Amino acid sequence: MDWTIFAVFLSYFLLLYFVSRVFAGKKHRSNDTFFSANKNSNWALVAFGMVGTALSGVTFLSVPGEVSNSNFYYGQLLIGNVIGYWLVALVLIPLYYRLNLVTVYELFGKRYGKTVQKTASWFFLVSQLIGAAFRLYLVALVLQLLFFERLGVPFEATVLLTLVLIWVYTYRGGLRTIVITDTLQTCFMLLAAVFTVVFLCREMNLHWVDLSRLLLKHPKAQLFDWDWQSPSFSVKQILAGIAISLVMSGLDQNQMQKSLSCRNVGEAKKNVFWFSISFFLVSGFFLFTGLLLYLFAQNQGVSLAATDQLFTYLSMHHFPVYLQVLFVLGVSAAAFSSADSSLAALTTSFCVDILEMKGKEDRGSLRVRKASHVVFVLLLFFVIVLFKWFNNDSVVMAVFRMASYTYGPILGLFAFSYFFKRKPAGKWVPWVCVLSPALSYVLNAKAQAIFWGYQFGFELLLVNALLTVLGLWLVSAPVSRKAERAVK
């Protein structure tokens, strides 16, 4: 079975490589193709492919396992996510297209200058490196357990191999290739989940009536938490879901890069609307899959301390061969879809925001872009290895907890630019954006003692953003009407 798994993994990569060769020939290797797919992407393909990117290994593996820890409370975030995505479509997408942006952080450059643009970009680069490492670590660990460990291959080599394979099929066409490959990867992830549910229902002799009862009456299917002191309190979870969508989609180059590659603002808005609905339904389906996995594990007498490994363990020891093959395809799709988009977004933001390469197509610029792509492959490798050494928590929780600190300043910058007619002093902006997460961390550590037992959850992101807005106000001055009209 080991070599069958390896053959499936290799065949999947060869399929992606073939697609990249077809859609990224010699005529499609420019910086414009890599950064924005020549602004010619089909909105339906973008929307469907974005589902796979947003799901990644976190949803595929960690969300089902998280059901055993926190019921269906993750669904509260999903409700907020949908509201947040609609705000992105109605507010941010028109703004980005009106300003003809390649990266979303150019917005800050047009309004406040290059220093603020680069500050936002650096926070994104750090956030994306950490978030992508969390996601890829999880699926690389699964590949290690399924095959490479039995051959004596160290985990570090598995990660490096995965990243090199991703680099091979993305370095030519960048976003143009990723729009197509992510569509394939979303299909494989959904296929694996659907067949898993069918198998589990048959094994436990569950019919549609039984499934309905599970969703309505099982304690693990509880969706809302009304304990105001709990980290998963419904109101703050929904608000946090809105904020997470705004920053991890609307203000995140990884997600917005694809939406900004659509032909016009109407198609881009349509893309985000359909993506939000698809993402909600698919993520809810993965929660339901998690409930079935939990019940199946109980029936089999399986108990795991690390819930992220539940899906993997059951696949290896209790699933038939055909389902193991589909699981490998799903895991491979999760690994590639999360990492290829992240690498493209990191390279784009660094080249456009930090190196100011927008519109440059000379040989020197092409070499710099390709070199930057390789550098981010190596950086991602080292962050994943560090994460393996130090992390013990559920990955889905770790990703969002880290986002509360790293994306907060980006949300604060946008809120300040959108609601206030003031311009901060550029030299103070980096300090404000560093101090706000630090204060948020201290506040989170002391919250129970200060606020009568209250515990912060994902809404810490909003607190972080609010502190950023306050700091920017203190170091800003009113902006002239002429300067305000220049960015409208």
92-96 average pLDDT score: 90
Both structure tokens of 271: 């893309």
Q: Quick one: CATH architecture of 2-393?
A: Up-down Bundle (1.20)
Both structure tokens of 483: 């300067």
Calpha distance 268→49 (Å, rounded) = 14
Calpha distance 132→35 (Å, rounded) = 19
Calpha distance 459→457 (Å, rounded) = 5
Question: Residues 161, 335: contact at Cβ < 8 Å?
Answer: no
pLDDT in tens, 258-272: 888 888 888 889 888
> What are the angstrom distances between the C-alpha of 301 and each of 71, 146, 198, 297?
20, 21, 21, 6
DSSP count for the chain of H helices, then E strands: 22, 2
Q: What percent of the chain has pLDDT over 90?
A: 4
Lowest mean pLDDT among 69-78, 251-260, 403-412, 458-467: 69-78
Calpha distance 144→335 (Å, rounded) = 12
Specify the pLDDT at position 154. 86
Both structure tokens of 302: 């399986």
pLDDT in tens, 182-209: 777 788 888 888 888 888 888 878 777 7
* pLDDT score of 56 more than 80: no
pLDDT in tens, 18-41: 777 776 555 556 777 777 777 777
Both structure tokens of 7: 């053959």
Calpha distance 378→459 (Å, rounded) = 33
Secondary structure element (H or E) that encloses residue 423, with its range: strand 422-424
427-452 average pLDDT score: 82
Query: Using alpha carbons only, what angle is made at residue 390 by residues 138 and 291, rounded to the nearest 5 degrees?
Result: 40
Specify the pLDDT at position 42. 79
Lowest mean pLDDT among 88-92, 323-327, 419-423, 450-454: 450-454
451-470 average pLDDT score: 78
The pTM for the full model equals 0.78
Secondary structure element (H or E) that encloses residue 478, with its range: strand 476-478
* pLDDT score of 395 more than 60: no
Specify the pLDDT at position 224. 72
Alpha helices for 319-357 (secondary structure H):
321-349
Paired strand residues for 424: 476
Calpha distance 161→60 (Å, rounded) = 21
Kind of pairing, strands 422-424 and 476-478?
antiparallel
* pLDDT score of 419 more than 80: yes
